[in-house]
Chain A
């Protein structure tokens, strides 16, 4: 079945970087855009950016410009989100999600990973 499986929880110190992976299976990886969303404890959802796995094109929310990098490795059908310069307010669950329609950017997030908790603490 179609699924996105994310890497495990991380604990990082302020100023460090974290790289979260999102392993896709059950579908043609390069066919569907992947998005990244985060959720701070007790808070709402915040969109971070997207990647087109077919060509590596990316787009990021202005809030994260310069700190976030989304990449993919098509050989292992995995997308990555790296966030640098971590601060305590980056403590959140980070989700990857997939579009529902092949090659469509303007799409809702039909499939979600299980989430990865990233804790930033000294």
Chain B
């Protein structure tokens, strides 16, 4: 089983700032089968990034993904008020499809 470790657990930033979220895998995730999701309270997760760096339909270009192998990053270039939420990474290369434990992005 591929274990995904996200850091930091909580990130406190202000609107307009840049956010950098990390996801580290216990073994290499080949072909970049890595996704990022955003989840707000009481809502289902929403896909932001797939294949490590491809934005999902309708996702603003302030969201970007990068990385390969075991280290992946989600960057939000300029935080908007609606971006404060919990973010999860997920690998979908192998079963079980594992998720990271999440990073909570909160308003400073």
In-complex Cβ contact of A112 among B46, B88, B90 (8 A): B46
Is B35 part of the contact surface with A, judged by Cβ < 8 Å?
yes
Is A76 part of the contact surface with B, judged by Cβ < 8 Å?
no
What is the predominant secondary structure among interface residues of chain B facing chain A?
loop
Which stretch, B10-18, B67-75, B77-85, B93-101, touches the partner chain A? B93-101
Indicate the size class of the contact surface on chain B: 20 to 34
Closest chain-B Cβ to A55's Cβ sits at a distance in Å of: 18
Is A122 part of the contact surface with B, judged by Cβ < 8 Å?
no
> Number of residues in A with C-beta < 8 Å to the partner?
21
Compute how far the CA of A121 lies from the CA of B69 in the bound complex, rounded to whole angstroms. Answer: 43
Closest chain-B Cβ to A66's Cβ sits at a distance in Å of: 15
Given A44-B102, A45-B88, A47-B99: A108 in contact with B93 (beta carbons within 8 A): no
Chain A residues in the interface with B (C-beta under 8 A): 35, 37, 44-47, 59, 61-63, 95, 100, 106-110, 112-115
